[in-house]
Structure formats: structure tokens, C-alpha cells
């Protein structure tokens, strides 16, 4: 079956084995080139503006992350990692009891539950975390070990044979923001700006700020307050740049839409769907035989 992927900026996907496995569907066959060439200069201008605006957005996001890292570093100086370890151990014991590691290791999936968009940080926590029967809400300031706790619990689940979904931070993809232990119906989610989660009365709240030493962190209160203010300003400015880029993208699309043969595209879609269903029918008997 051919891979189905969008191949337009900013999500480019190059076929690895064209013809043998991958297939390119070229919608350029369905546009009126003569009509588009009438707007060549406007399209080139919009494309250039989009690239420039995204460059600005990425610079501001990098700057925001650097400031956030400084905010974290201030709290790290006052962290009691022994207390943080105990909190992780307590959750692991509550979930798994004395169950030992399994001979069959669980699988992991790494995903995103949120994205930085022209409308700000958008997330789908209600559909990912919401349905879980048991929820642990991890609260705490930056640098208080929330991601580390999530990794420890997720690792313990995988070692015991459970499949786990890791949801990463869009600003810093190396960090985990949410974990779902699928078959147990258990979710652990960080609740901190800009992705807060309102706990229900039956949810368990873990406050990682309890692992901070106020006598140490109090020395950095003014710096952290400044870091927070600068971070929010940089982050919000990046979002405005992304919004401006979307406006330019919409302007560019306005030249393409009247030039497209949408009836032809509809016919192509129906043909492609029929081929996919045919491929699926060819694969299904072999899959059934392998399972018998």
C-alpha cells in the first residue's frame, strides 16, 4: 500500500522507495499554470514573506527556550533530589505494587499532544488524558523534576510489559509532558503554563514544589520573575510571527484556489481510495492466514 503523506511546506516527506512502496500524487497536474503565472510576483513575494516570518518565529522561540532554561536553572539550585526520587517511588509503588519486571518488554510511542500555532499553544489533553480512569497531575515550577518523574514511571511501566505513550513538549521535544499507560487506563500529566490541566476531585495531585528549598530559591526570586516575564513576551511574539505567516499563506492560497480543477481532484481522490481498498483486500487474506 502506498504511504499517504502531505508533501508541502512546512511538512516535507521524501519518498524512500518511490515506485516500489511509495507513490507521489502530484496535484500540480490539476492547476491552470497560465492563470498562476499571472500572479507569479505576488506568489513569490508571499513565499518569501512566509519564510522570513518563520525565521523570526524560530529565533524568538529559541530565545524563549534559553530564558526558560535559566528559569529552570534557578530552581535546580534549590532542589532536593532525594525527595523527588521518593515521590517517583511512591507513584510506582501505587501503580505496580511489588510486581517485578516482565520477560516481555512493553512498547513505547512518542507523540505530541500540543502544538505552537497562530492561535497560541493548542492541546488535545481532554481527548488523550480525559478518558483515563486514573490521573496523576504533576504540578511544580520549571526545574522541579516533573519530566524526570514521568520518565521514571513510564520506564517502570515498560519494564513490566505495559505499552506507554509519551507526549513531548513542542518547545523542547526532549522533554516529556504527559504519559499514558494504555492498558491500565492511567495518565500522568504535567500542569504548568502554558499547558495547564484542571484536576477533578478524584485525581491525585503531585506537587514537586515540595522538593524545593525555599531558603535557596528565595535568593533567585527576582531573577525568576524576570525570566517568566521575558519568556512570556518572547513566546507570545513568536506566536504573532506565526500568525502573520499564516496570513501570508492564506494570501498565497487565494491565487491557487481559482486556478485548481477541483472536479479532477475529486475524481483522483475516488480513484486513490479505490486503489487503497484494493491493496487492503490483497493484504488481508495473507494476514488472516498468518494469524491462523
Cell numbers placing 113:
499532544
pLDDT digits (tens, 9 = 90+) for 253-287: 999 999 999 999 999 999 999 988 988 888 765 55
Cell numbers placing 179:
504519559
Residues 85 and 186 in one domain: yes
Residues 91 and 141 in one domain: yes
Judged against a pLDDT cut of 60, whether residue 13 lies above it is answered with: yes
Strands 164-168 and 176-181: antiparallel
Residues 85 and 166 in one domain: yes
CA Rg value for the chain: 24
Residues 179 and 281 in one domain: no
In a domain, 220, yes or no: no
- Out of 185, 212, 239, a domain closes at 212
In a domain, 224, yes or no: no
In a domain, 199, yes or no: yes
pLDDT digits (tens, 9 = 90+) for 97-155: 999 999 999 999 999 999 999 988 888 888 999 899 999 999 999 999 999 999 999 99
Residues 87 and 183 in one domain: yes
Residues 165 and 120 in one domain: yes
Residues 207 and 268 in one domain: no
In a domain, 96, yes or no: yes
Q: How confident is the model at residue 12 (pLDDT cuts 50, 70, 90)?
A: low
In the chain, the number of structural domains is 2
Residue 184 domain boundaries: 81-212
In a domain, 159, yes or no: yes
Amino acid at each position: 500500500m502506498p504511504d499517504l503523506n502531505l508533501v508541502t511546506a512546512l511538512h516535507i516527506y521524501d519518498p524512500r522507495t518511490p515506485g516500489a512502496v511509495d507513490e507521489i500524487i502530484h496535484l500540480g497536474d490539476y492547476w491552470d499554470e497560465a492563470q498562476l503565472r499571472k500572479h507569479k510576483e505576488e506568489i513569490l513575494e508571499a513565499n518569501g514573506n512566509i519564510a522570513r516570518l518563520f525565521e523570526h518565529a524560530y529565533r524568538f522561540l529559541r530565545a524563549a527556550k534559553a530564558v526558560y532554561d535559566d528559569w529552570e536553572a534557578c530552581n535546580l539550585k534549590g532542589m532536593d533530589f532525594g525527595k523527588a526520587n521518593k515521590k517517583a517511588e511512591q507513584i510506582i509503588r501505587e501503580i505496580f505494587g511489588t510486581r517485578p519486571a516482565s520477560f516481555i518488554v512493553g512498547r513505547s510511542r512518542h507523540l505530541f499532544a500540543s502544538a505552537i500555532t497562530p492561535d497560541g499553544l493548542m492541546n488535545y489533553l481532554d481527548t488523550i488524558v480525559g478518558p483515563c480512569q486514573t490521573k496523576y497531575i504533576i504540578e511544580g515550577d520549571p526545574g522541579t523534576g516533573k519530566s524526570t518523574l514521568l520518565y521514571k514511571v513510564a520506564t517502570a511501566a515498560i519494564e513490566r510489559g505495559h505499552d506507554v505513550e509519551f507526549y513531548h513538549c513542542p518547545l523542547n521535544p526532549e522533554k516529556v509532558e504527559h504519559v499514558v499507560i494504555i492498558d491500565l487506563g492511567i495518565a500522568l500529566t504535567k500542569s504548568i503554563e502554558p499547558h495547564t490541566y484542571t484536576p477533578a476531585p478524584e485525581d491525585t495531585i503531585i506537587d514537586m514544589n515540595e522538593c524545593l528549598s525555599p531558603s535557596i530559591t528565595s535568593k533567585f526570586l527576582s531573577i525568576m520573575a524576570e525570566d517568566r516575564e521575558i519568556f512570556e513576551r518572547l513566546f507570545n511574539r513568536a506566536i504573532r510571527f506565526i500568525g502573520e505567516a499564516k496570513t501570508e499563506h492564506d494570501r498565497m492560497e487565494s491565487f491557487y484556489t481559482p486556478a485548481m480543477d477541483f472536479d479532477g481532484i475529486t475524481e483522483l481522490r475516488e480513484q486513490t481510495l479505490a486503489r487503497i481498498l484494493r491493496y487492503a483486500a490483497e493484504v488481508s487474506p495473507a494476514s488472516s492466514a498468518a494469524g491462523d
